[in-house]
A = this chain, B = another copy of it.
Amino acid sequence: MSSEEEIRGRIEDALERTLGDLAVGTRLRRAMEHALLGGGKRIRPLLCVEACRCVGAPAQRAIRAGVAIEMVHAFSLVHDDLPAMDDDDLRRGMPTVHVAFDEATAILAGDALLNGAYRVLCGPDAGPGTSLIEELSEATARMIEGQMLDITGGARTIEDVRRVHELKTGSLMRCACRMGAICGGADEETIEQLGSFGLHLGLLFQATDDLIDAEQAEETAGKATGKDAALGRPTLVGLLGVDGTRDEVVRLVGVCRDLLDGLDGGRLLSLCERIASRTR
């Protein structure tokens, strides 16, 4: 059985290889590397690979799917950080792509990452045909809707905020788990169960994000904090308070645990618990 460290290593190798056919040293490639290889948590590819493993299939089968999801995630961060959107200068303790390069390069690098995700899912050893592409494109469409809803400030109530979290973060984490399960040859019911786990993990991730935002200084979090509140965007903490949001985190961990019932999901549960207690 591969350790998580080994799997992380394989994911990083595969991420680097995806840019392999773009001429080295060009501005576009450097911007994509900055966005994709700048040390993310790799939660989505890990989810994908672990969902595959927990239905009894080897990790290797889900690496490409995990890479594709991470590219979509990286694209979304690059575009969300743009001045016209969230206008963030800092991401993972580093300048965001439009700061390190320029806006035009950031727009194009994001486009190329999104497009590249679909290239990764093609080719002879790409796995189960167009079903993964369909999963990824539907989830990405929902994620984009979520970002639109978020920036137009449609969210007012707790239900609105949950809806934004579900679309912006839940969609892709749900998709990561579903794709992993599909790669592992799971039945429809198990794909659905793991997808629901991923969705709730996304809600959990956003709840902890709101807590970090409310409690942490910028330096510790590695990115701008307190921004949503300053923009007048309602957050879970704003609506439920810090204690109420902590209760929500505990509730969501319970939901996630229940959703792993009957599966060999020890690593997924451990990932869930690490997310619940994360400080950045």
Given A119-B137, A130-B130, A134-B119, CB of A151 within 8 Å of CB of B114:
no
- When C-beta atoms are compared, the residue in chain B nearest to A102 turns out to be B84
Q: A152 contacts the other chain (Cβ, under 8 Å)?
A: yes
Out of B82, B85, B137, B152, which one reaches A116, CB within 8 Å? B137
Pair A141/B123 contact, Cβ less than 8 Å: no
Binary CB contact string for chain A from 19 to 35 against chain B (1 if under 8 A, 0 otherwise) = 00010001110000000
- When C-beta atoms are compared, the residue in chain B nearest to A31 turns out to be B148
Provide the residues of chain B in CB contact with A148, threshold 8 Å: 26-28, 105, 108
Q: A77 contacts the other chain (Cβ, under 8 Å)?
A: no
Out of B119, B121, B131, B151, which one reaches A138, CB within 8 Å? B119
Q: A155 contacts the other chain (Cβ, under 8 Å)?
A: no
Q: Give Cα A107 to B109, complex, Å.
A: 13
Number of copies: 2
List residues 121-176 of chain A with CB under 8 A from any CB of chain B. 121-123, 126, 129-131, 133-134, 136-138, 140-141, 144-145, 147-148, 151-152
Pair A84/B112 contact, Cβ less than 8 Å: no
Pair B115/A144 contact, Cβ less than 8 Å: yes
Pair B119/A130 contact, Cβ less than 8 Å: no
Pair A85/B114 contact, Cβ less than 8 Å: no
Q: Give Cα A138 to B123, complex, Å.
A: 12
Provide the residues of chain B in CB contact with A145, threshold 8 Å: 22, 26, 28, 112
Q: A94 contacts the other chain (Cβ, under 8 Å)?
A: no
Q: A273 contacts the other chain (Cβ, under 8 Å)?
A: no
Provide the residues of chain B in CB contact with A131, threshold 8 Å: 122
Q: A79 contacts the other chain (Cβ, under 8 Å)?
A: yes
List residues 15-61 of chain A with CB under 8 A from any CB of chain B. 22, 26-28
Pair B121/A133 contact, Cβ less than 8 Å: yes
CB distance from A88 to the nearest CB of B (A): 13
Provide the residues of chain B in CB contact with A119, threshold 8 Å: 134, 137-138, 141
- Using a CB–CB cutoff of 8 Å, the interface residues on chain A facing chain B are 22, 26-28, 75, 79, 82, 84-85, 102-105, 107-108, 110-112, 114-116, 118-119, 121-123, 126, 129-131, 133-134, 136-138, 140-141, 144-145, 147-148, 151-152
10 closest A-B pairs by CB:
A84-B103, A122-B134, A119-B137, A122-B130, A28-B148, A118-B137, A84-B104, A115-B140, A112-B144, A118-B118
